Structure 1
Amino acid sequence: MRTKKDNTPSLAEAWGEIVNNNLIPEEVFQEALKEAIIKAYRKHINCPDAEVRVELLPNGKMNVFQQRRVIDTEVEDDEIEISVEDAQAINPELQVGDILEEPVSIAEFGRATVSLAKNVMLQKIKEASKQIVFDEYSDKIDDITWGNVQTVEDKYTLIQLDKTLAMMPKSEQIPYEVLKDNQRIRVLIKSVAKETKGAQVIVSRASANLVKRLFETTITEIYDGTVEVKAIAREAGERTKMAVWSRNPNVDAVGACIGHQGARVKDVLDEITKYSNNDERIDVVEWSADLVQFIKNIMKPAEIIGVLPSGDGNGLLLVVDNEKLSQAIGKRGINARLASKLLNRKIDIKSMSEVESMGIDWLAESQAFAAKEEAVRKQKALDELKRIEEEKAAEEAARAAEEEARKAEEAMQAEAEQPEEEPVVTETPVEETPVVEEPAVQEEPAVVEEPVKEEETVKAEEPAVEEEPEVTETVKKRKPKLEKASEYVSKYEELADARKSQSKTTSSRRKKNTKEEEEAAELRRKLEELRNQEYLIKPEYTEEELEEFNNDDDEHWYDEDIDYDEYDEYYDDEE
């Protein structure tokens, strides 16, 4: 028995077929392949909810794993769940909630499974390809590109572009144009669709924008923006009207497009008529912001003597001389249709006699309409000027704010980059406090009390009584010196408090005593105290001690005789 030959391609063959498609990135293909294998395996085990992981290896092979969750409850679907006991029998480290991965084989896939995998891959690849084409050509709408004629049918022609197959419907073809297979032509990308069953890109040769783009690539003034195409209308194979305007008053817009003896416009005509025998014409007219004047330019060579509003306000009634009516309408009404497309308004052309027969004062209404349109035009011009000024003011304000922000940022950066200056420590001279040495206290001479006779006591008192006034006077003179000597005033303190304590400081300098003087004064004070107590026994001093006392007085005679007022001027100069 002969078995039916299976013509279904294997998965490997399907894979190779997809790999040969260079339109998609590798990662897109890999994702499509993974999804195809997952869906095919789910169909193979008849479990649409099964968890499957596909691993693609660099050598072109793949590993497929079925995943099951470890649970400690009753297993409801063994293709999705596994008990903890069974899982630990396979892998003792698995715990409840873990995922058990087990490798599975796709070699047993049946024909239906392989077909499903292939179809899924093809569908995903197709969707990715459409997205790539859309991204590639959506930004090229109204651009001219080259293409090769792939197939010519009665209702359409297929044009092979760089990355896709485009379609040119019959309505987008120039009448009487003859195209052949593998013929290289220039087409305009008219539209790009994303969600469609057929061709995504629609191209055209009958579009008015094709003529506009041809002028832009041919005429330098249009390409650099000196001359602008304001409006264009076309009936392919018959006639094209194009309104142009020059930004430079020294450049003639119409002359720049036509060229010397029509050479420039002829280059465009050669491109749109090279595959047919049609006699298409191109009229280039000057655009004007004045609506009435613009209408007159469009209708040339026919002369328009009146323009009236018509219908719902968007329509226009054009009045011409009786003998110019047919010229204004054009052959089969083409002139009127093109004018309507350029103005984007409904146009009705009538002769002067016909309008008068309708009882319309066309002259008055025409003048009123012209005045109204002029007022509208001026208002639009003012609004446009105001808008431009506002935009400039906004740009200047934004530029000023940006400049201010930039300067602030630069200042902050400069401040951050500037090294910090270490604080300057000014060393203040430390005043050395003069050490005042206290006078060493000499031991008082021992007073030896010896019993004496009364006569001797009297004799001893007599000389003492004679010296008493002198000693008392000396002690009185020395007492202020002792008080002043106890207060030490440094030279810095004298300079700081010169004005407040000038007299006090001067007096202190005059009465400064030496250590020897203070010691002598202390001894005299004690002698005076002893005298005042009227001791029966008076102190006795040796001859050497008494002589020393006298010598002290002789040595310090200058303290009493020198007039310190003579030196006040010297201390004033120091202050």
Structure 2
Amino acid sequence: MTNIILQTIEQISKEKNIDPEIIVTALEDAMIAAARKFYRTGEDISARFDRESGMLEIFAIKRVTDVVQDPSLEISLEEAKQIDQSLEIDDTVELPKPTDVLGRIAAQTAKQVILQKVRDAERQNIYSEFSQKVGELITGVIKRFEGPDIIVDIGKTEALLPLREQLRAEAYKQGERVRAVIVKVLPIAKGPQVILSRTDAQLLIRLFEIEIPEIYDGTIVVKNAVREPGDRAKIAVASMDRDVDPVGACVGMKGSRINSIIRELKGEKIDIVQWSDDPAQFAANALNPAKISKVLILDA
């Protein structure tokens, strides 16, 4: 039996990617709950699982006192001395209680408590993992529609692509793959909700990182990006290498690089602007190909 418990803990830990200590704590909590249900004595019950042997013990914890007023919580000094001569007034003593009598109650309670603890741990793992991925690009499969919102299968969990984060010109179909950025993770009661976006400027930046090798390796740096989702966008880029034209590299031969991004964004027009630390020059670059006769920078 003890080997079975140890094997079960190890199996659940591996399958669910959960710290074994969480499962052990859940097991101890479950046995405490089962013992309280069975004994109904009002005793202060504790449980301890031996990680080496696989033995699970249950104890009633009692305080040593001169005069016992509550037998469920107290033990006389005389009785305590029979257990351990070193015990004194106000010490606590653990009195072992049989576990084999718990039977079915223990099994049912343990199952319920452990399942709940495992679910809670899974939710926390998902929240921790995806909270660190906010701003990252992710690919998922459209699983179903809930009104105007879309539920996307992203592997370990389901994510939400709300109507406000969808491209107006885009038609979505169940079973299709979709790329989006993670914009936030909400810790709601039924499990963390991962929110995706197809309209956020971070999506544009992540697509440039994928399609433009010079951005991926750091030769070209994205300084800023803004979008009117589905209509047009501007992205400012700067080169760390004098011999590399940042705009030309992003456009690619005959527009090969930029066109793949435009297709992904369903025809959104993208202006690539060369960054300048000089606000006047940058404004002129952003308005290109218009001919600029004068730029005035007004203090806010």
Instruction: Tell me if TM exceeds 0.5.
Output: yes
Q: Structure 1 residue 264 and structure 2 residue 264: aligned?
A: no
Match of 2:105, SS state, is coil
1:313-462 correspondence to structure 2 within 5 Å: 313-314=299-300
> How many residues are aligned here?
286
Conserved in 2, the CA contact under 8 Å of 1:70 and 1:100?
Answer: no
Q: Structure 1 residue 26 and structure 2 residue 14: aligned?
A: no
| Structure 1 residues 282 and 28, CA gap change in structure 2 (3 angstroms) | same
Q: Structure 1 residue 180 and structure 2 residue 173: aligned?
A: yes
In structure 1, the partner of 2:236 is 243
Conserved in 2, the CA contact under 8 Å of 1:68 and 1:99?
Answer: yes
Structure 2 distance, partners of 1:309, 1:295, is 10
Report the Cα offset of residue 284 of structure 1: 0.8
Match of 2:242, SS state, is coil
Match of 1:109, SS state, is helix
Describe the superposition over 1:373-419 as per-residue Cα deviations: whole angstroms up to 9, x where unpaired: xxxxxxxxxxxxxxxxxxxxxxxxxxxxxxxxxxxxxxxxxxxxxxx
Describe the superposition over 1:418-465 as per-residue Cα deviations: whole angstroms up to 9, x where unpaired: xxxxxxxxxxxxxxxxxxxxxxxxxxxxxxxxxxxxxxxxxxxxxxxx
Conserved in 1, the CA contact under 8 Å of 2:223 and 2:238?
Answer: yes
What one-letter code is carried by the residue in structure 1 that aligns with 2:105? F
Length-normalised TM-score, structure 1:
0.44
In structure 1, the partner of 2:273 is 285
Match of 1:243, SS state, is strand
Report the Cα offset of residue 198 of structure 1: 4.8
Choose which of 200, 208, 228 in structure 1 pairs with 2:193.
200
Q: Structure 1 residue 41 and structure 2 residue 41: aligned?
A: no
Match of 1:79, SS state, is coil
Report the Cα offset of residue 289 of structure 1: 1.4
Structure with greater strand share of residues: 2
Structure 2 distance, partners of 1:41, 1:303, is 84
Structure 2 distance, partners of 1:37, 1:173, is 49
In structure 2, the partner of 1:100 is 95
What one-letter code is carried by the residue in structure 2 that aligns with 1:214? L
Conserved in 2, the CA contact under 8 Å of 1:70 and 1:87?
Answer: no
Query: Which structure's CA Rg is the greater one?
Result: 1
Match of 1:216, SS state, is helix
Describe the superposition over 1:125-154 as per-residue Cα deviations: whole angstroms up to 9, x where unpaired: 333223312332333222222222222222
Structure 1 distance, partners of 2:232, 2:142, is 25
Structure 1 distance, partners of 2:42, 2:174, is 48
Report the Cα offset of residue 237 of structure 1: 1.2
Q: Structure 1 residue 52 and structure 2 residue 46: aligned?
A: yes
| Structure 1 residues 39 and 221, CA gap change in structure 2 (3 angstroms) | same
Conserved in 2, the CA contact under 8 Å of 1:70 and 1:84?
Answer: no
Q: Structure 1 residue 109 and structure 2 residue 87: aligned?
A: no
What one-letter code is carried by the residue in structure 1 that aligns with 2:96? E
In structure 2, the partner of 1:79 is 72
| Structure 1 residues 44 and 309, CA gap change in structure 2 (3 angstroms) | farther
Structure 1 distance, partners of 2:73, 2:174, is 57
| Structure 1 residues 108 and 229, CA gap change in structure 2 (3 angstroms) | closer
Report the Cα offset of residue 94 of structure 1: 3.6
| Structure 1 residues 170 and 19, CA gap change in structure 2 (3 angstroms) | same
Q: Which has the higher contact order (CA 8 A, sep 6+)?
A: 2
Match of 2:98, SS state, is strand
| Structure 1 residues 296 and 41, CA gap change in structure 2 (3 angstroms) | same
Report the Cα offset of residue 85 of structure 1: 5.3
* Two-structure CA RMSD over aligned residues (Å): 3.4
Q: Structure 1 residue 163 and structure 2 residue 156: aligned?
A: yes
| Structure 1 residues 100 and 24, CA gap change in structure 2 (3 angstroms) | same
Choose which of 104, 109, 128 in structure 2 pairs with 1:135.
128
Structure 2 distance, partners of 1:304, 1:43, is 82
Describe the superposition over 1:98-118 as per-residue Cα deviations: whole angstroms up to 9, x where unpaired: 4322224323639xx956x65
What one-letter code is carried by the residue in structure 2 that aligns with 1:38? I
What one-letter code is carried by the residue in structure 2 that aligns with 1:109? I
Gaps in structure 2 of 5+ consecutive residues: none
Structure 2 distance, partners of 1:109, 1:77, is 26
Gaps in structure 1 of 5+ consecutive residues: 1-11, 274-278, 315-575
Conserved in 1, the CA contact under 8 Å of 2:133 and 2:182?
Answer: yes
Match of 2:21, SS state, is helix
| Structure 1 residues 29 and 148, CA gap change in structure 2 (3 angstroms) | farther
Structure 2 distance, partners of 1:270, 1:108, is 61
Length-normalised TM-score, structure 2:
0.79
| Structure 1 residues 182 and 32, CA gap change in structure 2 (3 angstroms) | farther
| Structure 1 residues 31 and 179, CA gap change in structure 2 (3 angstroms) | farther
Structure 1 distance, partners of 2:173, 2:41, is 54
Choose which of 275, 284, 295 in structure 1 pairs with 2:283.
295
Structure 2 distance, partners of 1:173, 1:207, is 10
Match of 1:78, SS state, is coil
Choose which of 208, 217, 230 in structure 1 pairs with 2:223.
230
Structure 2 distance, partners of 1:59, 1:175, is 61
Report the Cα offset of residue 255 of structure 1: 0.7
Match of 1:140, SS state, is coil
Report the Cα offset of residue 304 of structure 1: 4.4
Choose which of 179, 190, 204 in structure 1 pairs with 2:183.
190
Conserved in 1, the CA contact under 8 Å of 2:247 and 2:273?
Answer: yes
